[in-house]
């Protein structure tokens, strides 16, 4: 995807601008999470996020990206990522993945969460919980690892330890992020051979595992955006933007910087302030 393009290592000031963008994304997430319920359309969720981003004086990063027509990606049930908000009405038990990006002073934040609506199938809740745990394990691995490949190792370990089998999507991966939403390096969610980039201060990455309840194979719908599972099983997607600083890691799109979830994994966050 990025070939041999150089990694953009950020300064403290640049990471602080990314933190401001990350907090806008966190605020948009919180508002959507509060609003989401059966009967709303995915376009309704988009309007909620657009209002928060505009109110914060920030810019939505997805809108207009390669012609993308909305502020959010909202991906429901067998949709994995890049679902376009529209008149689809949410139903009880739906698995709803919400992805949001914002720009502040030219610097990006990007994050996603999945929510399972009331009357949930417990297996769908487990799918989302496992994907979330895989994301946090991948983030925690950045705190102690030598190279970026530790993320894929950690995601695979969480999936392997789960009591049921999940597919780990491979066609869509995490990415460097900074003065653009998508930058090198790619961040794989599976174990791979070969050397990955060294982890060092100034590296900022979006960690975003996608799991399915069946096969890992994907398909793109006629709209040229929506990615669905080939076998029709449901999928979940979780994502955070993370900065590596001189003292440790900082989850820029988490309101608390990742403190609570990372403490559970034995990691202390180190805001680069």
Residue numbers of the site for Co ion (CB under 5 A)? 110, 206
Q: Closer CB to ligand MF3, residue 132 or residue 208?
A: 208
Least Cα distance to 218 among 271, 171, 185, 250 occurs for 171
Residues 172 to 211 in contact with ligand MF3, rule: CB under 6 A: 206, 208
- Per the CB < 8 A criterion, the answer to whether 210 and 164 are in contact is no
Least Cα distance to 171 among 115, 222, 213, 230 occurs for 230
Say how far residue 250 (Cα) sits from the centre of its chain: 15
99 in contact with ligand MF3 (CB under 6 A): yes
Q: Closer CB to ligand MF3, residue 38 or residue 86?
A: 86
The contact pattern for ligand MF3, residues 102-141, with x = CB under 6 A and - = no contact, is --------x-------------------------------
Rounded least distance, CB 172 to ligand MF3, Å: 7
Q: Closer CB to ligand MF3, residue 25 or residue 267?
A: 25
Q: Closer CB to ligand MF3, residue 159 or residue 181?
A: 181
Rounded least distance, CB 38 to Co ion, Å: 27
Least Cα distance to 72 among 94, 95, 44, 91 occurs for 44
CA distance 186 to 172: 9
Rounded least distance, CB 63 to ligand MF3, Å: 8
DSSP 239: B
- Beta strands, E only, 181-226: 183-187, 204-207, 210-212, 218-220
* Sign of the dihedral defined by the CA atoms of residues 188, 192, 196, 200, in that order: positive
- Per the CB < 8 A criterion, the answer to whether 233 and 208 are in contact is no
Rounded least distance, CB 74 to ligand MF3, Å: 10
Tell me which of 10, 15, 62, 176 binds ligand MF3, using CB under 6 A: 62
Q: Which residue is nearest to ligand MF3 (CB)?
A: 62
65 in contact with ligand MF3 (CB under 6 A): yes
* Residue showing tokens 């933190």: 19
DSSP 263: H
Q: Choose the one of Co ion, ligand MF3, none that binds residue 82, judging by a C-beta under 5 to 8 angstroms depending on kind.
A: ligand MF3
Q: Closer CB to Co ion, residue 36 or residue 173?
A: 173
Rounded least distance, CB 176 to Co ion, Å: 10
Tell me, by CB under 6 A, how many residues bind ligand MF3.
11
- Return the structure tokens found at 259: 């403190």
CA distance 161 to 150: 17
Q: Choose the one of ligand MF3, Co ion, none that binds residue 99, judging by a C-beta under 5 to 8 angstroms depending on kind.
A: ligand MF3
Residues of this chain that interact with ligand MF3 (CB under 6 A) are 62, 65-66, 68, 73, 82, 99, 101, 110, 206, 208
């Amino acid at each position: 995807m990025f070939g041999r393009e150089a990694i953009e290592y950020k300064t403290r000031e640049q990471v602080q601008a990314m933190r401001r963008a990350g907090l806008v994304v966190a605020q948009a997430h919180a508002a959507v999470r509060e609003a989401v319920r059966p009967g709303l359309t995915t376009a309704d969720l988009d309007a909620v996020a657009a209002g928060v981003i505009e109110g914060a004086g920030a810019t939505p990063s997805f809108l207009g990206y390669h012609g993308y027509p909305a502020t959010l990606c909202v991906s429901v049930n067998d949709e994995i990522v890049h679902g376009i908000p529209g008149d689809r009405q949410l139903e009880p038990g739906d698995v709803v993945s919400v992805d949001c990006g914002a720009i502040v002073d030219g610097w990006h934040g990007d994050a996603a969460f999945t929510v399972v609506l009331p009357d949930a199938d417990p297996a769908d809740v487990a799918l989302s919980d496992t994907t979330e745990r895989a994301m946090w394990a991948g983030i925690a691995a950045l705190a102690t690892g030598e190279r970026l490949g530790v993320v894929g190792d950690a995601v695979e370990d969480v999936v392997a330890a789960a009591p049921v089998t999940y597919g780990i999507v491979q066609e869509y991966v995490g990415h460097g992020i900074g003065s653009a939403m998508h930058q090198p390096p790619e961040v794989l969610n599976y174990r791979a051979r070969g050397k990955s980039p060294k982890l060092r201060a100034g590296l900022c990455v979006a960690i975003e595992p996608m799991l399915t309840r069946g096969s890992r194979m994907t398909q793109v719908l006629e709209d040229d955006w929506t990615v669905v599972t080939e076998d029709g099983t449901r999928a979940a997607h979780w994502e955070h933007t993370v900065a590596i600083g001189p003292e440790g890691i900082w989850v820029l799109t988490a309101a608390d910087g990742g403190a609570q979830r990372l403490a559970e994994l034995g990691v202390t966050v180190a805001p680069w302030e």
